[in-house]
Amino acid sequence: MKISGFTMVRNAAKLYYPIRAAIESILPICDEFVVALGEGDADDTTEEEIKKINSDKVKIIRTVWDLNKYPKGMVHAYQTDIAKQACTGDWLFYVQSDEVVHEQYLPVIKKRCEELLDDKEVEGLLFNYKHFWGDYNHYIVSHAWYPREIRIVRNLPEIHSWWSAQSFRRIPNFDGLNYRQKKGTYKLRVASVDAFIYHYGWVRPPQYMQIKRKAFTTIHKGKAKAEDLFQNQEELFNYGDLSKVEYFNGSHPSVLKEWMSKFNWQEQLYPIRSVEGVKHKHERLRYRLLTFIEQKFLQGRLIGGFKNYKLLKR
């Protein structure tokens, strides 16, 4: 059995992505790791950060992001596909540049891959998610956030990254352009794995969070829209009242230790949002009610939430 890791990235440092930790977190169980490295800004140091890993398992493919050809976030899916297509493993393990796997889960993940290797009905593995928020001590449990997602897929040409690279679908005769298409696509048949992906996409200094949001808006809605929405370059992102989200008592992946040591924005947290302020999605009454029902009475099962997979009993 061979496992390939893969990801896509550009401008990791200036957007505060822990790309090195993301790769290192799964590298021990991977036979190779493919990175689609997009051409970044003049001051982009992503390649230097990746090379610090110093492993001959890591292969870099240099790419150029075309936001005109792949608008609405589809460039993320296309770049993910570039990395996926260069993988040679039986199983392909995808981590985004803000996702890190705790070392405690690696034996579980590898064992699950071995168990299901010859079960061809299983096209992918479904992971649990823990979405950290604001700092490393808080995380979100909300109907507004996806609790599970596909992160390991079989090495099949019909399986493609989908939407804005959040997930995967089987797309026969894919034209290589419309990563948001639903017609003619098929949800993957997946088995669950008892492991978590730790998502740190919302753990950034408030000023970096604004920079990242502007970059994300540019990719999804265009430069003009991003410039209009983020005119105030000095504005800090407001995480809201962190006492209203879950407190994390566990440990973080060991590969993230160096990255976490840079945490220096404690004094910029806990600003209580004013009544007239815009609320985050998970703060809205509708989602708070749905979350309460799901967690209190349904053991976390979603009420009509987005589910891009067919879960098999395995």
Domain boundaries, the chain: 3-202
Q: Tell me the helix, strand and coil percentages in the chain, rounded to 5.
A: 30, 25, 45
> Is the pTM of the predicted complex or chain greater than 0.75?
yes
Q: Strands, DSSP E only, in the chain?
A: 3-9, 32-38, 58-63, 91-94, 99-100, 124-133, 138-140, 148-154, 159-162, 167-170, 186-187, 189-202, 246-247, 310-311
Residue positions counted in the chain = 314
Q: Please list, in sequence order, all residues whose beta carbon lies within 8 angstroms of the beta carbon of residue 257, skipping any fewer than 6 positions away.
A: none
Select 3-202's CATH number: 1.20.1250.20, 3.30.70.360, 3.90.550.10, 3.30.420.10: 3.90.550.10
Q: pLDDT tens, position by position, for the chain (314 residues)?
A: 999 999 999 999 999 999 999 999 999 999 999 999 999 999 999 999 999 999 999 999 999 999 999 999 999 999 999 999 999 999 999 999 999 999 999 999 999 999 999 999 999 999 999 999 999 999 999 999 999 999 999 999 999 999 999 999 999 999 999 999 999 999 999 999 999 999 999 999 999 999 999 999 999 999 999 999 888 877 889 998 898 899 999 999 999 999 999 999 999 997 665 545 568 999 999 999 999 999 999 988 889 877 999 999 99
